[in-house]
Amino acid sequence: MRAQESSVNLSGPAVFARVRHDWRREEAEALFALPFNDLLFHAQSVHREHFDPNEVQVSSLLSIKTGACSEDCAYCPQSARYDTGLPREGLMPLDEVLKAARTAKEQGAGRFCMGAAWRSPKDRDIERICQMIEGVKALGLEACVTLGMLTDQQTRRLKEAGLDYYNHNLDTSEEYYSEIITTRTYQDRLDTLERVREAGLNVCCGGIVGMGESDKDRAGLLMQLANLPQHPESVPINLLVQVEGTPLAGTEKLDPLVFVRTIAATRIMMPKSRVRLSAGRTDMSDEMQALCFLAGANSIFYGEKLLTTGNPEAERDKRLFRRLGLRMAGIYADA
Ligand code: SF4
């Protein structure tokens, strides 16, 4: 469907000029169907209203507990259900976590994200995580964790320890979700997000594309995120990294320009959020990443590894930033 042929009017200021929480499915789908140049023009215009267009926030990510997860997320090498050859590791000692945080800071990261492969953490785990958060904060970094589903009490404890952000992705549209995960529901995800908000934490929440979903699903994911009572402060958009042994290995690759369109629609629908290029950057050319920045991406994960998959080395990122005249945003630079 092309936007010009649809009954949705995308020309009015209501669509592009304000923060909205009432996106209709047809409007989101019509954004994806705009001519590429129009979509990028609108996205870049919205981006310039709210952000310095040449500044990119940089986060660093560390897997603090790897593998042996009881969930069945079809994209994930950390699920105990798939044989991917990934070594299983228990919760990392505090001193090793803080050593990695120091290195991340030296390389220019402003936020340090720690990921643990759990369905949900135990209370005794939370106390160890809180020590990590306190240590990361003492280094002058923002702290983010992703630990799975949380109770009210755990969420409050993390906030008390000084946590800035909690990451919990919706992954895909509500309709496509059961194709990807069967061990927890979409509503479980939304409930955890609500708890995180109630505790006063910032939310990092996005999804993954390239999992065989349609444009409708990509639009559906963004509609869910944009219609939350408050937009997530960070919206990571991941490109599926296909890992041998997971059910999604061998999925047809996503057209790179569809990925760029997804970034542009994210920028338009959540104008004040940091839109983050996350997993899958290793497979992206510099030119594709440049288009993503033009479409409104303004955050990246930086460093050699994401949770378990590769990430462009820091030097390649620095070269790309120089070529594009981009700067790394300072600490606490989020709008
Ligand atoms: S994405 Fe998270 S919850 Fe799902 S299998 Fe991987 S580690 Fe477990």
Query: Among residues 111, 113, 267, 281, which one is catalytic?
Result: 113
Do 180 and 171 touch, CB atoms closer than 8 A? Answer: yes
The CA-atom distances, in angstroms, between 155 and each of 40, 141, 228 are: 38, 20, 19
What would the pLDDT profile of 219-262 be if each residue is shown by its tens digit? 999 999 999 999 999 999 999 999 888 998 999 999 999 999 99
Confidence of residue 24 (pLDDT cuts 50, 70, 90): very high
CB neighbours of residue 320 within 10 Å: 18
- 48 pLDDT exceeds 90? yes
Give pLDDT, residue 65.
Answer: 84
Do 259 and 239 touch, CB atoms closer than 8 A? Answer: yes
Query: Among residues 205, 276, 281, 292, which one is catalytic?
Result: 276
Residues in contact with ligand 1 by the CB-under-6-Å rule are 69, 71, 73, 76, 78-79, 117, 148
Helix (H, G, I), strand (E, B) or coil at 61: strand
Confidence of residue 61 (pLDDT cuts 50, 70, 90): confident
Do 207 and 228 touch, CB atoms closer than 8 A? Answer: no
Ligand 1 center to 121 CA (angstroms): 12
The token pair that represents 78 in the structure block: 């950390």
Active site residue 69: yes
Query: Among residues 111, 130, 144, 267, which one is catalytic?
Result: 144
- 5 pLDDT exceeds 50? no
Give pLDDT, residue 8.
Answer: 59
Ligand 1 center to 231 CA (angstroms): 23
Mean per-residue pLDDT for 40-49? 94
Q: Which of 61, 66, 69 to mutate to test the pocket of ligand 1 (most atoms within 8 A of CB)?
A: 69
Strands 299-302, 55-65: pairing is parallel
Active site residue 204: yes
Closest CA to 173 of 126, 207, 136: 207
Please, what is the end-to-end C-alpha distance for the chain in angstroms? Answer: 35
Helix (H, G, I), strand (E, B) or coil at 108: coil
